[in-house]
Amino acid sequence: MSAVSVERVGKHFGGVVAVADVSLVVSEGRLLTLLGPSGCGKTTTLRMIAGLEQNDAGRIVIGNRVVSDAAAGVFLAPERRDIGMVFQSYAIWPHMSVFTNVAYPLQVRRRPAAEVRERTLEALRLVQMEHLAERPATALSGGQQQRVAIARALVFRPRVLLMDEPLSNLDAQLREQMRLEIRALQQRLGITTIYVTHDQEEAMVLSDEIAVMSEGRVLQTAPPETLYARPASRTVAAFFGAPNLLPAKTREVRRRGESALTRVEGDGWEGWCTGPATLQPGESVTIVVRPEVVRLGRAARHDAGIVWRGVVRQRYFRGTRTLYAVEVGGARFTVDAPPDSPLAAGAEVTLDVDAAHTWIVRD
């Protein structure tokens, strides 16, 4: 059963299209991330689900209830949507203690004092903040404020949790720690969650599924592994890491179920790659080759991948890995390799990749 359904939703601000024809389905207990650069429409989409913005087109369903339908004139206020929200700024009230910040959603709902205390302490225990219940909000660190904001969003037991870039104000080390804590908490509670971020690594760590957005539209929705290894377009491929994107033409297609082993021809090279079964010979395509799957100094079988010969131009030591920039003809390859047996600039090298570790996207 879907906990949230967004059906062809759109939003304009004057003459600017912020969101156009966006559709999403989030199943009960799953975490979906809206991922994209600034200005792509992800926060506007989240705010429409929350009821903080009214959609101009389409409808939004939470559980079995239509909370917004532009055509039918239906629009439920945020407090009637059974959602909890964590904002980028945390929105912690500085004049209140930790306890009263978290208790506030229950107090405005006029719950009995005993229930307020019990559920507030329960929410604080979830985020490991019970021992700081009486501390002033102004005496909290950034990570502690973030925990208080999550506890406040969960205290009234909402059906859906919405999170808008909640880690963007934290330093890198704390952000990495909090990702794991948020994911563990979401899975433990089984609460349906929609999360907004521009950080690709954050999205991959947290998500059951990711919706990649650009210019107000969803380009592809899939599990993180699928988006990384089988992107639907060059734009989606380029958003994850720094892949090698090689222009080529398809020459032969051998279909194998939902994919195809395809012979491709590039500028001064040819070989075999994996791609969609719908490919046809003669198409202009882009080959996606991730830096970490390229091998140095080995040669693949003729029908198993691609082999290139090039020259190392730059080497970047990164501790557990070494990054190489390798010139192949007129193209520049990025290779992410183990730090053993380092190669110097000017060294001639052979690069190869298995067909199974490549993917073809149409131009």
Per residue in 300-324, pLDDT (tens digit) is 454 579 999 999 999 999 888 999 9
**Given this model, what pLDDT does residue 137 score?**
87
Is pLDDT of 206 > 60? yes
Residue in the block written with tokens 């339908």: 69
pLDDT at 226: 96
61: pLDDT strictly greater than 70? yes
Q: What is the mean pLDDT of residues 72-76?
A: 97
Cα distances from 314 to residues 334, 335, 342, in angstroms, run 10, 11, 11
Mean pLDDT value of segment 140-154: 91
* pTM of the predicted model as reported, rounded to 2 decimal places: 0.91
**Residue 186 confidence class, pLDDT cut points 50, 70, 90:** very high
For residues 33-37, average pLDDT: 96
| pLDDT, tens digit (0-9, with 9 covering 90-100), for 274-294 | 999 999 999 999 999 999 999
Mean pLDDT estimate for the chain? 92
Domains and CATH numbers, the chain: 2-234 (3.40.50.300), 242-362 (2.40.50.140)
pLDDT tens digits, residue range 88-140?
A: 887 888 899 999 999 999 999 999 999 999 999 999 999 989 999 999 988 99
Residue 76 has pLDDT above 60, yes or no: yes
Residue 300 has what pLDDT?
Answer: 47
Q: Pick the range with the lowest mean pLDDT from 16-25, 182-191, 335-344.
A: 335-344
Average pLDDT over residues 71-92: 92
Rounded distance, CA 194 to CA 207, Å?
A: 9
Q: What percent of the chain has pLDDT over 70?
A: 98
pLDDT at 299: 53
CA distance 211 to 219: 7
CA distances from 10 to 237, 285, 359 (A): 25, 31, 32
pLDDT at 231 over 60: yes
Cα 151 from Cα 187, distance rounded (Å): 15
Q: Is the pLDDT of residue 154 over 80?
A: yes
Instruction: State how far the alpha carbon of 143 is from the alpha carbons of 28, 99, 139, 149, 154, in Å.
Output: 28, 16, 12, 10, 17
